[in-house]
Structure 1
């Protein structure tokens, strides 16, 4: 059925889904609808979809009733468009941020993060919180004591993570765009699993001030999940930039991305690969990669199967050291909040305790060696991008897991953090090294798993070449007439609300 849930809503669900974020913003600016009417429609969509997939923790009723309640700029390019903030990363003044954890239940930050101010200035009205695994350190938002987020294409499967709820809500058509964070693929992986677009930007794009900096966090960044390339381009254009006192300068393109994507890129040299050291895609995923590579060739690009000359085993080992040591310090900071010296076992998930135990005493020498390996890996990818404009890989190497596949969860009883991460890299082989190198990667919903679930395909570029990725993605979007996922819709979708 395509009728609205409530006769008082402004448009039918088919009409709702026909507009992306900038399209809805244009309706608001034209006076055809108000920002509050659009927010009310989004809230109704959440009400209709969320019981089946659990992607939203909380809706801010005051922000739905008044688009300026959060301080949103109605003159921004998104004109008051409703927006979900992942319950991790940038804080929103006076709103709960519990990070998917029983430990942070009731945590209510007092100030906006710098990126939050940019999001509001861009005209995005933050109407709620989307789900995330505990502290973002997991492949799935799946702890029954907190919540279980499910894939809208088949609720027996995970959405992956850690930007789980945002990807689910965008994939189900509830909102055209939502916030995400990416420390190793946490935007791209769930976007790929849920049939959405996910961009991990180059280092020096989005601020993580004031609590962190690119120097301290090294691999983590911010971004969005969307349904159209232009919404992603607009989000980056208007939310990028460093806060006062950043450790490093933040870069801006000479031409805004929204302008760049209006033109096709030049003929590109695209290298295609999936066998990265100890990890490789399943036969079906490899076949889908080949099919997508031929599609890029049909667009006029030069395509060749070539694996970058990278010491992948060393790179993944360094990435594991980074995650374990970084996350141990995240936990230390959380313990200081409450004056504790170790994580309470009834409030922390087991693997997050193991990571803290195995990472809290890592030496500076070990970290310095890790940075040298990061450098070697970044230089190797840099050399590859001297020869190739784009690298094409799958977004994931294995099938999307079913709900309760504990080997990827932080609720697992695996005693070894090292072993747990090594297993994760086998699944997420192609995303974390962008974080290590600071390069951009973008997952596009161009392929399908053997069971019919979406399979993202990832395009990578050299650091600072985000515009080229967006240009190529926009060329693809035009070629398929905007019909991502071959025009298919998930089982749980706003257009199926009755």
Structure 2
């Protein structure tokens, strides 16, 4: 496993804070920066298909504020994930062509906060339909490709966001995480991605919480300091939120200058659901543990936290039920289930077949991993694992075989939902996919913060990442340690081969 590939090394790439500072000093003009990002997108996006929504006129209209404002990111180009991030007057596709044609009436709070911070939103990034997969290959818009190797996925569901940042279109992009959808693409694309604590970022006004609180919104970025500063501008409650999260003792961006304390770190490289872990990903976490020991931290090997198989089953129960609820809601808005992909319809059928009591029981069992992780954090400060168990799949590799698609289509056409449930086909496909990314769901079900940190390139030139989890509300520890790792093993100069195109 290579720590750095000479073809991936280049000069300094300005991050979002750097760009904002240059604009503020008058060293460059916000309009020029925006046009440069748009030109970069036009040149590279046809190869990676990361950006699928055009908001450049909206961004240009915001330039007048960038020229006069003192917002922390005034004039910095930015991209929204085209899922659960509404901008009034535009459609939010959620990876679906029918939804893309339906303009929304109001802007989400998090989008408003990004724009108040001065970011210029000029596009929307690709996502799997309804954000349901750890790959980004929606039928409506086609697959997004990993800038490190165009034959591979950048992951999902924030795959378009990660690909756009890795390709240098923007220094950071909006992302969301309901089962690893920030951390998985960040790891696969050699970027930094942090999922905040449950409730840290408001879901207003659409939701009180999403997926029983499993979903968190933030960004994928090249640098740790961008991530911290961007979380500073979006963190905090909105009127009507179900509970108020205590704000951090100081801004997250100030944690980067704080001395890193000696941390107690638990380390596990075994899959929590018993599957194989690729040697490069396992070795990355082990090597990271050794580096942390050399830096004065205490690292101790442990078994995976809690009952990983039960957590996976309960996660999938929530997942199936939420898909069913979403399809029902859209049907009430005049969008029939037939407007969605076959896979999505099949997931919805499984969800509709769940008894309410079974769903409630599975949700109640989330308490078990919460308590197990809580006990872990009485002994340790952080929990270190590989971010993923396997490298990014090839484009199309995880698509259902033709015979399975045909069988699902027949079952859906004739309403044979009982046959589908008894077959266990969809559940098995979902569980099989979890074997590739089994480490990330724990943080979602427990509501705790977790981050993926770039570590190295594997023997095939694909990025490898390591994951750290912390107790609820302790993003400060994650940012402090990430800053130390970024200094010890810098990754900001990595450039994927698409840069040379």
TM-score, normalising length from structure 1? 0.90
State whether residues 166 and 191 of structure 2, in contact with CA within 8 Å, keep that contact through their aligned partners in structure 1.
yes
1:490 aligned residue (479, 483, 496): 496
3-state SS of 1:451 partner: coil
Please tell me whether residue 281 in structure 1 is matched to residue 277 in structure 2.
yes
Please tell me whether residue 460 in structure 1 is matched to residue 469 in structure 2.
yes
Measured in 2, the distance between the counterparts of 1:50 and 1:410 equals 29
Q: 1:418 offset after TM fit, Å? A: 1.3
1:6-25 Cα distance to aligned partner (Å, 9 max, x none): xxxxxxxx78x621100000
Q: Aligned Cα RMSD in Å? A: 2.2
3-state SS of 1:173 partner: coil
Other-structure match for 1:320: 316
Q: 1:224 offset after TM fit, Å? A: 0.1
Q: 1:26 offset after TM fit, Å? A: 0.3
Please tell me whether residue 440 in structure 1 is matched to residue 449 in structure 2.
yes
State whether residues 138 and 408 of structure 1, in contact with CA within 8 Å, keep that contact through their aligned partners in structure 2.
no
TM-score, normalising length from structure 2? 0.90
Other-structure match for 1:257: 252
Q: 1:228 offset after TM fit, Å? A: 0.5
State whether residues 178 and 211 of structure 2, in contact with CA within 8 Å, keep that contact through their aligned partners in structure 1.
no
Other-structure match for 2:200: 205
| Change over 3 Å in CA distance of 1:201–1:288 after alignment to 2 | same
Q: 1:333 offset after TM fit, Å? A: 1.1
2:99 aligned residue (87, 104, 114): 104
State whether residues 98 and 335 of structure 2, in contact with CA within 8 Å, keep that contact through their aligned partners in structure 1.
no
Measured in 2, the distance between the counterparts of 1:244 and 1:144 equals 37
* Further displaced range: 143-152 or 161-170: 143-152
Other-structure match for 1:331: 327
Other-structure match for 2:440: 431
State whether residues 142 and 409 of structure 1, in contact with CA within 8 Å, keep that contact through their aligned partners in structure 2.
no
Q: 1:339 offset after TM fit, Å? A: 6.2
| Change over 3 Å in CA distance of 1:412–1:50 after alignment to 2 | farther
Please tell me whether residue 61 in structure 1 is matched to residue 56 in structure 2.
yes
* Further displaced range: 396-405 or 53-62: 53-62
Q: 1:218 offset after TM fit, Å? A: 2.2
**Match runs of 1:135-146 below 5 Å:** 135-143=130-138, 145-146=140-141
Other-structure match for 2:146: 151
Other-structure match for 1:389: 381
Q: Unaligned stretches of 5+ in structure 2?
A: 1-9, 409-419
| Change over 3 Å in CA distance of 1:301–1:390 after alignment to 2 | same
Other-structure match for 2:114: 119
Q: 1:65 offset after TM fit, Å? A: 3.0
Measured in 1, the distance between the counterparts of 2:466 and 2:231 equals 21
Other-structure match for 2:168: 173
Measured in 1, the distance between the counterparts of 2:305 and 2:50 equals 39
* Further displaced range: 119-128 or 464-473: 119-128
Other-structure match for 1:85: 80
Measured in 1, the distance between the counterparts of 2:439 and 2:55 equals 36
| Change over 3 Å in CA distance of 1:224–1:411 after alignment to 2 | farther
3-state SS of 1:245 partner: coil
Q: Report the count of equivalent residues.
A: 474
| Change over 3 Å in CA distance of 1:351–1:40 after alignment to 2 | same
3-state SS of 1:158 partner: coil
Other-structure match for 1:403: 395
* Further displaced range: 220-229 or 249-258: 249-258
Measured in 1, the distance between the counterparts of 2:72 and 2:401 equals 38
3-state SS of 2:435 partner: helix
1:290 aligned residue (278, 286, 289): 286
* Further displaced range: 133-142 or 464-473: 133-142
Q: 1:372 offset after TM fit, Å? A: 2.2
Q: 1:33 offset after TM fit, Å? A: 1.6
Measured in 2, the distance between the counterparts of 1:173 and 1:427 equals 27
* More helix as a share of residues: 2
2:70 aligned residue (43, 68, 75): 75
State whether residues 211 and 318 of structure 2, in contact with CA within 8 Å, keep that contact through their aligned partners in structure 1.
no
1:314-360 Cα distance to aligned partner (Å, 9 max, x none): 111111111111121111111111164xx11xx31111111110102
| Change over 3 Å in CA distance of 1:74–1:58 after alignment to 2 | farther
Measured in 1, the distance between the counterparts of 2:436 and 2:322 equals 21
| Change over 3 Å in CA distance of 1:358–1:373 after alignment to 2 | same
| Change over 3 Å in CA distance of 1:264–1:105 after alignment to 2 | same
Other-structure match for 2:4: none
3-state SS of 1:57 partner: strand
